[in-house]
Amino acid sequence: MALLRNKNRYEFGPLDPRDDLDIDVHRMRRASGRGIWFESMRLLRDIILILAIFVLFGVFVAQPVVVDGESMVPELHEGERLLVNKLIYYNIERFDWGHIQRGDIVVFWYPQDPNKSFVKRVIGLPGELVEVRRGRVYIDGKLLEEPYLSPAKNRSSLNYSGKRVDDHYFFVMGDNRDNSLDSRTWGLVPEKYIYGKAFFRYWRPSNLGILRRGAARLKDPERTPPRDRVPDDDDPRARLNGDIDLQ
């Protein structure tokens, strides 16, 4: 029995790696220092990754802009902040957000001073003939119906002689036609100057939401009824019927 008691007796003292292979000896201060350094590097890595994603998002996908002026009232007001979609560079025809269409609100460098940016609505597409008759827009002779306009901001009845839109150019106008400097004044906008299509308004909170393409559509102009004609006495139909049936 005495031998058994001696066998289970242990000598207490400083730990040694040779005592048990399953025991790991750590220096707490050194391990703590390495842990803080490791976590700091991981945090720095995550911050750099997030910043890189935001930079790439701003360069290739979307960009914030601020509305300056009242030329797009009632759709946009001064001081509002928008996100513009920059994917139009890729001209993806299958998707609305991938290319420019009539009724889109676009942001572009002002052709006469590329240091300035303007926001307007696309009215005329490449190859089309744009005219303004008594304040109303005609595309290739067809009336352009624009339900997004406010009658109170479009009282002018001025005319604009026809302008054929060149390839890779667009004819743009503000929704506030009575107070807008646009293609009627300084000409067409090169496609390469358009750097975004507005799709989301994130300020002011009262108008927060998605900006949709204006529902503009072309309508055949009303036909002028034919003038009445005086019957010709030599026309046998006039002698038989007393008048001429105009078709």
**Is residue 107 within 8 Å of residue 114, measured between CB atoms?**
no
92 within a domain of the structure (yes/no): yes
36 within a domain of the structure (yes/no): no
**What is the predicted pLDDT for the residue at 14?**
61
14 within a domain of the structure (yes/no): no
Choose the catalytic residue: 7, 32, 40, 71.
Answer: 71
Q: Tell me the pLDDT of the chain averaged across its residues.
A: 81
Phi-psi region of 148 (alpha: psi -120 to 50; beta: other; left: phi over 0): alpha
The β-bridge relationship of strands 169-173 and 105-110 is unpaired
**What is the predicted pLDDT for the residue at 224?**
44
2 within a domain of the structure (yes/no): no
**What is the predicted pLDDT for the residue at 50?**
86
The span from the CA of 66 to the CA of 123, in Å, is 22
Query: pLDDT band at residue 13, thresholds of 50, 70 and 90?
Result: low
Which residue has better confidence, 246 or 87? 87
Choose the catalytic residue: 86, 120, 153, 197.
Answer: 120
The span from the CA of 60 to the CA of 200, in Å, is 16
pTM for the model: 0.71
Beta bridge partner(s), residue 172: 122
Work out whether the CA dihedral 233, 235, 236, 241 comes out positive or negative.
negative
Beta bridge partner(s), residue 145: 217
pLDDT at 4 over 70: no
The span from the CA of 192 to the CA of 196, in Å, is 10
Query: pLDDT band at residue 22, thresholds of 50, 70 and 90?
Result: low
The Cβ-side half-sphere exposure at 135, using a 13 Å CA radius, reads 14
**Is residue 135 within 8 Å of residue 177, measured between CB atoms?**
yes
- Identify whether 120 is a catalytic site residue: yes
199 within a domain of the structure (yes/no): yes
- Summarize pLDDT for 210-240 with one digit per residue, the tens: 999 999 999 987 654 444 444 444 443 333 3
Mean pLDDT of 97-117: 94
CATH number at 146 reads: 2.10.109.10
SS3 track for 154-206 = CCCCCCEEEEECCCCEEEEECCCHHHCCCHHHHCCEEHHHEEEEEEEEEECHH
pLDDT at 107 over 70: yes
pLDDT at 30 over 80: no
8 within a domain of the structure (yes/no): no
149 within a domain of the structure (yes/no): yes
- Identify whether 71 is a catalytic site residue: yes
**What is the predicted pLDDT for the residue at 37?**
80
**Is residue 123 within 8 Å of residue 148, measured between CB atoms?**
no
Query: pLDDT band at residue 245, thresholds of 50, 70 and 90?
Result: very low
C-alpha closest to that of 78 among 216, 207, 210: 207
165 within a domain of the structure (yes/no): yes
Distances (CA, A) of 41 to 37, 103, 116, 229: 6, 49, 42, 92
Can you give the residue range of the structural domain that contains 77? 63-215
Work out whether the CA dihedral 179, 137, 145, 108 comes out positive or negative.
negative
Place of tokens 């005319």: 159
- Summarize pLDDT for 112-167 with one digit per residue, the tens: 999 999 999 999 999 999 999 999 999 999 999 999 999 999 998 889 999 999 99
**Total tally of structural domains belonging to the chain:** 1
